Structure 1
Amino acid sequence: MFRFKHPILFAAFIAIFLFHCIQVTSEPDGDQHEFNYNRGSGKGPNRWSKIHEEWSVCGKGNMQSPIDLLDEKVEVFKHLGRLKKSYKPSNATLVNRGHDIMVKWEDGAGAIYVNGTKYILKQGHWHTPSEHTINGRSFALEAHLVHETNDKRRAVLAILYKIGQKDNFISQVADYLRDIANSKDEEKEVGVIDPRDVKLGSRKYYRYMGSLTAPPCTEGVIWTIVKKVRTVSREQLKLLWDAVHDGYEKNARPTQPSNDRIVALYRP
C-alpha cells in the first residue's frame, strides 16, 4: 500500500467525482423475470446488455461495478476524511423482489455526506456471495445501503460479511424474511427499523466511481466499501437464500474490469 504521491492524480480523482456527481442515474434493477445470475443462461450477466437496448451499458460501460479491490492498485487518500453519516430510525417495508430482499425506508432514514452532498438513505438489500472482492477473495455476503439525492444521484455504502457471529441488523427482520419467502413483489410493513444497527466496525473504507450492479447498470454511482469484514451466521445466510426465488440464492454479479480507475482508501 502506498500514499497518494502525485498531485495530477489527486486532481484527476476530484475531477472524476465532480463530473459524475452531476449525472442523473435511472432506476436500478430490471424485472426479475428478464434477467438472472446464471452465466450459462440467455439471461445471465454476460447477456444483460443484449436483453434491452437501455441495458447496453452493462456490456459497453467502462466504469462498471463490482470490482476486485487490489492492494497494489489502491491509493491511500487521507483527504477523503471520515465517513460522515447521520442515520435515524424510520418506518420501513420489507420487499421480496424475487432476485433479492430489500428493506425500503418510506421517508428516508437519515443520510450520508459525500463531497459535501447529502445522500438520503432509501433502501438496503443483500447479495450472496459478495459482489466486490478483496485481492481476489470473495465473501459470504454483501449488504448495499442505497442513498439518493433529490435528483436521483446515487451513493452506495457496501459492507462485506464472512461466516461467524449473527448480524444484529438481519436479526431485526428475520421473522419477516420467513413471512415473505418465495413471494415475489410481496411487501410487508415491518415498523420502525434503525439503520444505525448496521455496524461498520472501522473507519477505513475504499471509494471509487462505478455503476449499479444489476440492470440497467447505470454508471455515475459513488461506491464506499467498508474495509473491515463483518460476520453473519450460517442460519441468517440460509434465511436470505430461502427468502428469494429458486435460482437467485446466488445473486452476485461477477467482478468487472477496473479500467485503470482510481480506487482510494481512506485510512486515518
Structure 2
Amino acid sequence: MSIFMRLAMATPSSSSFCFIILAFALLHVPAFAFTTEELEEVPFSYAGQMGPANWGKLHPQFQECVVGKSQSPVDIITNKTELNPNLKPLSRNYRPGKSTLVNNGFNVGVRFDEDVGVLLVDGKNYSLKQMHWHSPSEHRIDGLQYPAELHLVHRTDDGNIAVVGILYQYVMLIPSSPRYIHLKNKLDELAKDVCASNEQSQVSLGTMDTKLIRRNTRRYYRYMGSLTTPPCSEKVAWHILGKIRDISKDQVAALKAPLNSDLQGQLTPSPASQWPTHSAL
C-alpha cells in the first residue's frame, strides 16, 4: 500500500492560508483532550528553547511531557515483547468521507469532516478522526528508524484514544497515478504558506476513500503510551503494525514540502522494555 490513500477526483476549489488554531478546528490530537483556546495557541518546536526538553515549561498542562512514565514514541525491541495470544486482529471498518488536508507546521495530515468508520479494540468502537505523517518515523523497531510513519488517530465517545502506526520503507519507484498527482497538487498548495506550530493552513480534499487501509491486521505491537506532541497526554493505546509499507523519496519530499523548517525534528524514542509491549501474530 502506498502512503497516499485513494481519493475521489471531484473536489471543490479551496485556498490555503495560515490562521491561529481555534477550538474544534484542530487536526492534531491534543484538541481531543484539551479544547481551550489557551492550550491550542501555545507554540512549541523540536529544537531550542521550545524544543522537547522544555515542552513541560511551556504550559502547566504540558507537565506530562517531563514527568510522564509512559511517553511515546518507543523503540520496540522485538525479542523483549510478549506474545499475547488473546490479542485479536485489528478490525478496521472504514468508509469514504469528506476530508481536509491540513498543515500544522510540524506535520501534514488529513482531518475527516464526517463519520468515516471505526477501529474495534477490546470490543469498543474508536471512530477514525484524522491521520497524519511524520518523517522520519517516530517509532523504531530494533533500533531501526524508517523514512516515514503514518498515524491513524481514533477516539471513543468518552475520550479514549487509540492510534494505529504504520511504518514505511523506501522503494526505488512507485508508479504515479491521477490520485497521487491530485494529492501532490494539494500539498504544493499547502506549501505556499509557512505556519507556526500554533497555526494551520488547510485545503479541501473532497471525498477520501479509506478502504485501502481498512483491512484486518493480525501482526502488530501494542502498548499504552502517550501523545507524541504537547500536552503529551498518556493512556493512549498504540498499535504499531508489523508489516512495513512502501514509499518513494518523492512522496516523502511532497509530504515535507509544506512544513516549517524550524519545526521539523524528531524525538528520541524510549526503550519499549520499560513497560509491557504485547505482540500479536
- What is the TM-score when the length of structure 1 is the normalising length? 0.82
Corresponding residue for residue 137 of structure 1: 144
Q: 2:82 aligns with which of 75, 85, 94?
A: 75
Q: Which moved more, 1:59-68 or 1:197-206?
A: 197-206
Q: 2:269 aligns with which of 241, 255, 258?
A: 255
1:256 CA drift (Å):
2.6
1:228 CA drift (Å):
1.1
1:65 CA drift (Å):
0.5
Measure the CA separation in 2 of the matches of 1:162 and 1:174: 19
Gaps of 5+ in 1: 1-24
State, as a whole percentage, how many aligned pairs show the same letter. Answer: 33
Corresponding residue for residue 111 of structure 2: 104
Corresponding residue for residue 174 of structure 1: 184
Q: Which moved more, 1:72-81 or 1:177-186?
A: 177-186
Work out whether residues 182 and 242 of structure 1, in 8 Å CA contact, stay in contact via their aligned partners in 2: no
Q: Are positions 1:233 and 2:232 aligned together? A: no
Work out whether residues 168 and 198 of structure 1, in 8 Å CA contact, stay in contact via their aligned partners in 2: no
Q: Are positions 1:266 and 2:280 aligned together? A: yes
1:176-215 correspondence to structure 2 within 5 Å? 176-183=186-193, 184=195, 185-198=200-213, 203-215=218-230
Evaluate the alpha carbon distance shift between residue 67 and residue 168 of structure 1 in structure 2; reply closer, same or farther with a 3 A threshold: farther
1:173 CA drift (Å):
2.3
Measure the CA separation in 1 of the matches of 2:44 and 2:175: 29
Work out whether residues 32 and 97 of structure 1, in 8 Å CA contact, stay in contact via their aligned partners in 2: no
Measure the CA separation in 2 of the matches of 1:50 and 1:168: 45
Work out whether residues 149 and 165 of structure 2, in 8 Å CA contact, stay in contact via their aligned partners in 1: yes
User: What is the CA deviation profile of residues 231-257 of structure 1, one whole-angstrom value per residue up to 9, with x for unaligned ones?
Assistant: 11100111111111122343x322135
Higher-RCO chain (CA-CA 8 Å, sequence separation at least 6): 2
Q: 2:49 aligns with which of 42, 45, 61?
A: 42
Corresponding residue for residue 7 of structure 1: none
Q: Are positions 1:221 and 2:230 aligned together? A: no
3-state SS of 2:145 partner:
coil
Measure the CA separation in 1 of the matches of 2:176 and 2:231: 31
1:95 CA drift (Å):
1.0
Equivalent residue pairs, number = 240
User: What is the CA deviation profile of residues 74-127 of structure 1, one whole-angstrom value per residue up to 9, with x for unaligned ones?
Assistant: 011121111111010100011111111120001131110111110000000011
1:51 CA drift (Å):
1.3
Corresponding residue for residue 120 of structure 1: 127
Gaps of 5+ in 2: 1-31
Cα RMSD, aligned residues only: 2.5
1:166 CA drift (Å):
3.5
Measure the CA separation in 2 of the matches of 1:235 and 1:144: 20
User: What is the CA deviation profile of residues 20-68 of structure 1, one whole-angstrom value per residue up to 9, with x for unaligned ones?
Assistant: xxxxx6149x658721112xx1111111111111101001000110001
3-state SS of 2:221 partner:
strand
